[in-house]
C-alpha cells in the first residue's frame, strides 16, 4: 500500500512538472506530451530529471530564458514602430528579455511583425499565429492592423504574465468609424 502511494505521488509529480515546463516555456500544446504519456513515466529518476530541468529553465540556477526579438520591417511606419515598442515594454514587464530587431536571428525566439494584403486581411485587421518553430507572427492588413495586432499581443502578455504559447487569433473591425 505504501509503495502504491509513493508511486502515485511520483506519477502526479511527473505530470505536474511536465505541464509546468510546457506552460512556463510557452510551448504550444500540440508539441507537449499528452497527460497520459506523463502519467506512464513512473520512475523516481524521471521525476528528479524533470525537476532539475524545470529548475534550470525557470531561472532558479541563474540561467535566464533566451531573449525575444521583436522583428520589424526596415521600412516600418511610425504606428507599427509604436506597436512594436509597446510589445517590447509588455515583454519586459513579464520579466522577459526583449529588443527590437530589423531581422530574425537564428538563435532567438522571435515575434515577427509584417503586413499582408494577400492573406485576406482587410484594412485594420490582424492575425496572431504561433509558427511551428515557436515564433509568433503578427500580420496586419495594413499599418493600422499591424499596430492593433501588436497592441493585442501586448495585452495578452500583460494579462498572462508570459508569452502566449499557442496563438491562432484573427480580428477585424466590423465597420470603420471616424470622428
> Which residues in 49-75 are b (16+ Cβ under 10 Å) and which e?
ebeeebeebeeeeeeebebbbbbbbee
The pLDDT tens digits for 37-87 are 544 444 544 555 555 555 555 544 344 467 889 999 888 999 999 999 999
78-93 and 143-160 helices, crossing angle to 10°: 10
pLDDT of residue 143: 92
Residue 52 to residue 50: CA distance in whole angstroms:
5
Cα separation, 6 vs 1, whole angstroms: 9
Amino acid at each position: 500500500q505504501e509503495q502504491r502511494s509513493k508511486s502515485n505521488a511520483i506519477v502526479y509529480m511527473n505530470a505536474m512538472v511536465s505541464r509546468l515546463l510546457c506552460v512556463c516555456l510557452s510551448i504550444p500544446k500540440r508539441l507537449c506530451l499528452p497527460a497520459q504519456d506523463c502519467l506512464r513515466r513512473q520512475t523516481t529518476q524521471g521525476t528528479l530529471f524533470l525537476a532539475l530541468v524545470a529548475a534550470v529553465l525557470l531561472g532558479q540556477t541563474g540561467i535566464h530564458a533566451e531573449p525575444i526579438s521583436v522583428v520589424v520591417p526596415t521600412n516600418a511606419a511610425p504606428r507599427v514602430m509604436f506597436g512594436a515598442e509597446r510589445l517590447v515594454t509588455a515583454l519586459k514587464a513579464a520579466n522577459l528579455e526583449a529588443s527590437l530587431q530589423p531581422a530574425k536571428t537564428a538563435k532567438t525566439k522571435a515575434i515577427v511583425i509584417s503586413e499582408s494584403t494577400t492573406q485576406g486581411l482587410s484594412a485594420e485587421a490582424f492575425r496572431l499565429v504561433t509558427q511551428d518553430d515557436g515564433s509568433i507572427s503578427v500580420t496586419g492588413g495594413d499599418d493600422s492592423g499591424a499596430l492593433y495586432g501588436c497592441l493585442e499581443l501586448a495585452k495578452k502578455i500583460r494579462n498572462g504574465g508570459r508569452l502566449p504559447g499557442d496563438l491562432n487569433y484573427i480580428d477585424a473591425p466590423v465597420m470603420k468609424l471616424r470622428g
